[in-house]
């Protein structure tokens, strides 16, 4: 027990420290090369004048704030993983072999998708930095391409789960398992698309970092209770890296997460949910992501088919801004709800 706890907490702490130490260097680079969006998203035309004034002021800040803060997260994660992997190779004794948490059955596929998502997200951010918003925001072909790539990621994960790990069912809380057979592959794809859509939460200083830290922190505990120590360590390392990012992302944000942070985190979250067999509990643990994604979908559907809006502005956190809530209150309340739902999810995953 003590050994497993050390295995989880030591890499988690190192990931946090690496992120804290790496950030000043990264921030200098971000600002030196002006790695921010050259054009921010337009707000909806028929919103309150008060919200427009707030948003215009925020836009002025966003234009000069780097949008690739996610680099800090994945650099911290990859450095920590490589550190313990190399130490296990150089010193193949019981201590360092035990601390190495790179394994075929637990961390290989989430790490692979984490890396691929980071690269794809970085490409998206670089296009924004270079002023190619006509491609990233207004091109149907680009949107379809991104969705196709996420589908491919889901296909890779589903193939690995079914053919390599023998997974063919999902756990239904308090009601046993539901056998899907090979249809678990398309189900993985659907879940991954769903978590990916939750990336729109990255819209207010400190919001996405706090929410995702609570989510991955809960999966650290869940994986530990399932005796998936390597996966628990991987989730803990991601949590530590997110907390290091959040240290500098609280208002006023020194940088934003960007797609290079949101994309790997959301698609990795889906793989961890399947590996811990808690995919049906995921919507509870990630309630903030689900609510934010649904608000955008509901808004688009209502405007297209009924010609009216359900929310003043979508996603949901901007709706609260339009109502006059200060951004720090929105952020803190999202954090509180995320922690609460994470605890509920942990309890369900533990007792069901």
- Per the DSSP assignment, residues forming a β-bridge with 177 are 171
Give the per-residue pLDDT at 40. 61
Specify the pTM. 0.94
Question: Coil, strand, or helix at residue 227?
Answer: coil
Separation between Cα atoms, residue 137 and residue 140, nearest integer Å: 8
DSSP class of residue 164?
Answer: I
User: Domain ranges in the chain?
Assistant: 2-167+184-276
Neighbours of 192 (CB within 10 A): 28
Positions of E strands within the chain: 169-171, 177-179
pLDDT recorded at residue 224: 97
Q: How far is CA 83 from the centre of its chain?
A: 23
pLDDT of amino acid 59: 53
Q: Cα–chain-centroid distance for residue 328?
A: 21
- Whether 197 and 288 have beta carbons less than 8 Å apart is answered as no
Helix axes 70-90, 259-275, angle to 10 degrees: 50
CA distance linking residue 79 with residue 277, whole number of Å:
28
Task: Report in angstroms the alpha-carbon separations of 9 from 5, 32, 71, 229, 337.
Answer: 6, 35, 22, 11, 25
Residue 237 pLDDT: 98
Q: Which residues of the chain have pLDDT under 50?
A: 43, 45-46, 50
């Amino acid at each position: 027990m003590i050994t497993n706890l050390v295995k989880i907490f030591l890499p988690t702490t190192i990931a946090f420290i690496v992120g804290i130490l790496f950030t000043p260097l990264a921030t200098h680079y971000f600002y030196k090369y002006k790695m921010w969006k050259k054009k921010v998203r337009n707000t909806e035309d028929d919103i309150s004048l008060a919200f427009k004034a707030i948003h215009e002021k925020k836009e002025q800040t966003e234009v000069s704030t780097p949008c690739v803060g996610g680099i800090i997260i994945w650099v911290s994660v990859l450095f920590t993983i490589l550190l313990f992997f190399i130490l296990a190779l150089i010193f193949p004794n019981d201590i360092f072999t035990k601390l190495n948490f790179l394994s075929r059955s637990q961390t290989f596929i989430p790490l692979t998708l984490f890396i691929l998502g980071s690269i794809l997200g970085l490409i998206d951010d670089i296009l924004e930095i270079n002023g190619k918003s006509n491609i990233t925001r207004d091109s149907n072909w680009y949107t379809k391409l991104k969705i196709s790539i996420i589908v491919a990621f889901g296909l890779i994960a589903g193939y690995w789960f079914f053919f390599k790990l023998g997974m063919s069912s999902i756990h239904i809380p308090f009601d046993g398992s539901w056998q899907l057979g090979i249809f678990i592959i398309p189900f993985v794809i659907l879940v991954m698309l769903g978590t990916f859509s939750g990336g729109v939460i990255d819209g207010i200083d400190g919001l996405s970092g706090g929410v995702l830290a609570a989510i991955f922190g809960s999966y650290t505990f869940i994986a530990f209770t399932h005796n998936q120590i390597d996966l628990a360590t991987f989730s803990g390392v991601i949590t530590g890296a997110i907390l290091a990012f959040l240290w500098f992302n609280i208002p006023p944000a020194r940088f934003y997460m960007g797609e290079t942070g949101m994309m790997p985190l959301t698609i990795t979250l889906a793989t961890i949910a399947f590996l811990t067999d808690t995919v049906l509990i995921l919507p509870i643990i990630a309630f903030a992501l689900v609510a934010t994604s649904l608000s955008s979908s509901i808004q688009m559907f209502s405007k297209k088919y009924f010609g009216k809006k359900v929310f003043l502005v979508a996603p949901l956190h901007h709706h609260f801004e339009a109502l006059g809530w200060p951004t720090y209150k929105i952020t803190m309340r999202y954090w509180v709800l995320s922690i609460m739902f994470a605890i509920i999810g942990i309890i369900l995953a533990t007792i069901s």
